[in-house]
C-alpha cells in the first residue's frame, strides 16, 4: 500500500488536489494550539454522531467540545469516552445557550432528517458555523431556507458529504478532471442495504422525509455529479415496492436515470431491502474507474483501466472530513463541493425523482 507521503507526492502536481493536500498535510503537522482548532458540538448523539466523535479523536484541526442531547444518561458516557467537559452538554430546549459559549465555533447536526432544518437555522441565528448531515433537509424549500439563514448570519453551511474527503473518491475525481478517462460516456451508481428494525425513524416519513433514496440513494446522485462534473437536465425514475407493509411510509427500491447536458446518462439505483449493493462505475472513451464498495465507511476499493487502485485507508473518512472542513472555516481554504448549495442541488434531484415516480416514470426536466 502507498504511504500517505507517497500519496501526497503523487497528488502534488494537481491543482485539484490542493484541498485534500492541505487536509492530509494537516494530519502530519504538529497539533495546532487548541485555540486554532475548530471546536465542534454534535447535535443528536446517535450512532452517526458517535462515529464522528470517534473519528475526531484523530483530527488535528478539529476538536469535539460538546453535545446536544435529549437523553441525559448519555452525558456521562460521552464525557468519559470522548473527554468532553460535562458543562458543554445541552438539551434541545437549552440549545440557544450555546450562543453564550465562546468555546464553540461550529455545530454538527446529526439528528433525524426532518429535524435538520430547524437546528441548522437555530444554530445559524446564534452565529455558529454549521455542518449538517445528509440529506440536508426533507424538501427543496427547507434547503433554500437553511442556505438563506446561514448566508444572513454570515456563517458557513457544509453538508456531511464525507466521500469528497476520501482518497479513492478524490482520485476518481482527479482522473476525470485531468482527462485520464477521456470523454465520460456512462455512469452506473447503486447503493443500498437491508434495513432492520421496522420501528426505526428511517421508516417514518415524518422524521425521515423519504426512504432509501434520501438516506443512501443520495450518495449515487452526488456521485453521478462528481463523476461527470455536470448537472443533470432530466430525470426519470420508477419504484419497486416488494414489501408494502414495512415500507408503507417511505420508498423501498428506486431505479432512476439522470441525463446530463453532454448526453451522458447515469443509471442509478437504491434500496432498503437487500444487501451487497454498492458500486460506482465511471467509463469514458479512454478509461474507467470502478469503486466497490464506493460509499460506505470503507475501506473503499477500486480499479481503473490501469489496474488496482491503492490509496491510504488508514483514517476514518470523518477524520479527513473534519480536518478538511476546519481548514476551510479557520484558514479560508476554498470550499469543497459540500456546501449547502451542493446539498440543495441534490435535494432538487431527489424532488424530481419522486415527481417522476408519481407521474408513472415520466421524464422530468430540471
Binding footprint of ligand NDP on the chain (CB under 6 A): 44-49, 69-71, 74, 110-113, 133-134, 160, 162, 201, 207, 215
Q: Among this protein's residues, is 119 annotated catalytic?
A: no
Place of cell 447515469: 266
Distance (Å, rounded) from C-alpha 120 to C-alpha 131? 8
Q: Which residues are 50's β-sheet partners?
A: none
Place of cell 425523482: 353
Contacts of 53 (CB under 8 A, 6+ apart): 42, 64, 78, 81, 82
Tell me if residue 259 falls in helix, strand or coil. Answer: strand
Contacts of 70 (CB under 8 A, 6+ apart): 91, 92
Cβ distance to ligand NDP smaller for residue 44 or 293: 44
Cβ distance to ligand NDP smaller for residue 90 or 260: 90
Q: How far is the CB of 132 from ligand NDP (least distance, A)?
A: 8
The single residue of 60, 61, 128, 134 carrying the catalytic annotation is 134
Cβ distance to ligand NDP smaller for residue 175 or 347: 347
Output 28-34 pairs: Cβ under 8 A, ≥24 positions apart: 28/4, 29/60, 31/60, 32/60, 32/61, 34/63
Cβ atoms of 295 and 235 closer than 8 Å: no
Distance (Å, rounded) from C-alpha 10 to C-alpha 232? 32
Place of cell 429535524: 115
Q: How far is the CB of 19 from ligand NDP (least distance, A)?
A: 18
Tell me if residue 149 falls in helix, strand or coil. Answer: helix
Cβ distance to ligand NDP smaller for residue 47 or 276: 47
The single residue of 90, 119, 190, 219 carrying the catalytic annotation is 219
Place of cell 491543482: 15
Q: Among this protein's residues, is 219 annotated catalytic?
A: yes
Q: How far is the CB of 73 from ligand NDP (least distance, A)?
A: 9
Distance (Å, rounded) from C-alpha 176 to C-alpha 283? 10
Q: How far is the CB of 245 from ligand NDP (least distance, A)?
A: 21
Cβ distance to ligand NDP smaller for residue 260 or 320: 320
Distance (Å, rounded) from C-alpha 260 to C-alpha 266? 8
Cβ distance to ligand NDP smaller for residue 165 or 260: 165
Q: How far is the CB of 253 from ligand NDP (least distance, A)?
A: 18
Q: How far is the CB of 57 from ligand NDP (least distance, A)?
A: 17
Q: Which residue is nearest to ligand NDP (CB)?
A: 46
Active site residues: 134, 219
Amino acid at each position: 500500500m502507498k504511504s500517505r507521503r507517497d500519496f501526497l507526492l503523487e497528488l502534488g502536481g494537481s491543482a485539484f488536489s490542493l484541498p485534500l493536500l492541505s487536509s492530509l498535510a494537516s494530519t502530519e503537522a504538529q497539533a495546532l494550539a487548541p485555540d486554532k482548532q475548530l471546536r465542534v458540538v454534535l447535535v443528536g448523539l446517535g450512532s452517526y454522531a458517535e462515529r464522528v466523535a470517534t473519528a475526531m479523536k484523530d483530527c488535528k484541526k478539529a476538536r469535539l467540545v460538546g453535545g446536544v442531547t435529549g437523553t441525559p444518561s448519555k452525558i456521562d458516557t460521552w464525557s468519559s469516552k470522548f473527554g468532553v467537559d460535562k458543562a458543554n452538554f445541552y438539551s434541545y430546549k437549552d440549545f440557544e445557550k450555546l450562543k453564550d459559549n465562546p468555546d464553540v465555533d461550529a455545530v454538527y447536526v446529526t439528528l433525524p432528517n426532518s429535524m435538520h432544518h430547524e437546528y441548522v437555522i437555530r444554530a445559524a441565528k446564534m452565529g455558529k458555523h454549521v455542518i449538517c448531515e445528509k440529506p440536508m433537509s426533507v424538501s427543496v424549500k427547507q434547503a433554500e431556507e437553511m442556505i438563506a439563514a446561514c448566508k444572513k448570519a454570515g456563517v458557513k453551511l457544509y453538508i456531511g458529504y464525507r466521500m469528497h474527503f476520501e482518497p479513492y473518491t478524490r482520485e476518481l475525481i482527479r482522473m476525470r478532471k485531468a482527462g485520464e478517462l477521456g470523454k465520460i460516456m456512462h455512469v452506473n451508481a447503486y447503493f443500498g442495504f437491508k434495513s432492520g428494525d421496522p420501528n426505526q425513524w428511517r421508516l417514518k416519513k415524518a422524521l425521515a422525509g423519504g426512504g432509501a433514496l434520501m438516506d443512501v440513494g443520495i450518495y449515487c446522485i452526488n456521485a453521478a455529479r462528481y463523476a461527470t462534473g455536470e448537472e443533470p437536465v432530466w430525470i426519470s425514475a420508477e419504484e419497486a415496492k416488494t414489501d408494502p407493509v414495512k415500507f408503507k411510509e417511505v420508498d423501498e427500491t428506486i431505479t432512476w436515470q439522470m441525463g446530463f447536458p453532454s448526453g451522458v446518462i447515469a443509471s442509478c439505483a437504491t434500496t432498503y431491502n437487500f444487501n451487497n449493493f454498492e458500486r460506482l462505475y465511471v467509463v469514458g472513451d479512454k478509461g474507467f474507474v470502478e469503486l466497490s464498495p464506493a460509499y460506505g465507511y470503507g475501506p473503499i476499493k477500486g480499479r481503473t483501466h490501469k489496474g488496482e487502485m491503492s490509496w491510504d485507508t488508514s483514517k476514518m473518512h470523518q477524520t479527513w472530513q473534519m480536518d478538511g472542513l476546519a481548514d476551510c472555516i479557520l484558514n479560508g481554504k476554498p470550499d469543497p463541493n459540500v456546501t449547502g448549495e451542493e446539498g440543495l442541488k441534490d435535494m432538487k434531484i431527489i424532488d424530481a425523482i419522486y415527481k417522476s415516480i408519481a407521474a408513472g416514470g415520466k421524464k422530468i426536466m430540471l
